[in-house]
Amino acid sequence: MSVAGLLAAARAADAHAWPYVIGGWGLTAAVLGGYWARLRARIRRAERTLAPGDDG
């Protein structure tokens, strides 16, 4: 395809690009946020079991 053709196709697709943008941003936020939340929960749980005093 020629450059002009590609550019025309890109412009035509522009109106339809928003779903991809939202999908990409949403996915990134979900993955990174989910990873962080899971890390935090696991650290809290491990710290609780290691807390001094419950060493049986």
Partner 1 sequence: MNRLNIEEPTDTPGQLLAPGVRHAIGAVALVALAALALLGLWGAPPDDRQGEAMRLLYLHVPSAWLAYLAFFVTAVASVLFLWRRTRSMVWDRVAGASAELGVIFTGLTLVVGALWGRPIWGVWWAWDARLVTTAVLFFLYLGYLSLRRIPGEPEAAGKRNAIAALIAFVDVPIVHFSVEWWRTLHQKATVFNPELSAKIEGVQALTLWIAVIAFTLLYLYLLDRRYRLAVLEEGQAERELEQAIRERTGDAVAGVTP
Q: Give contact residues for partner 1 (rule: CB under 8 A).
A: 1, 3, 6-7, 9-11, 13-14, 16-18, 20-21, 23-25, 27-28, 31-32, 35-36, 39-40, 42-43, 46-47, 49-52, 55-56
**38: which 2 tokens?**
């899971």
Helix, strand, coil percentages in the chain from 3-state DSSP, rounded to 5: 80, 0, 20
Look up residue 9 and give its amino acid: A
**40: which 2 tokens?**
């935090």
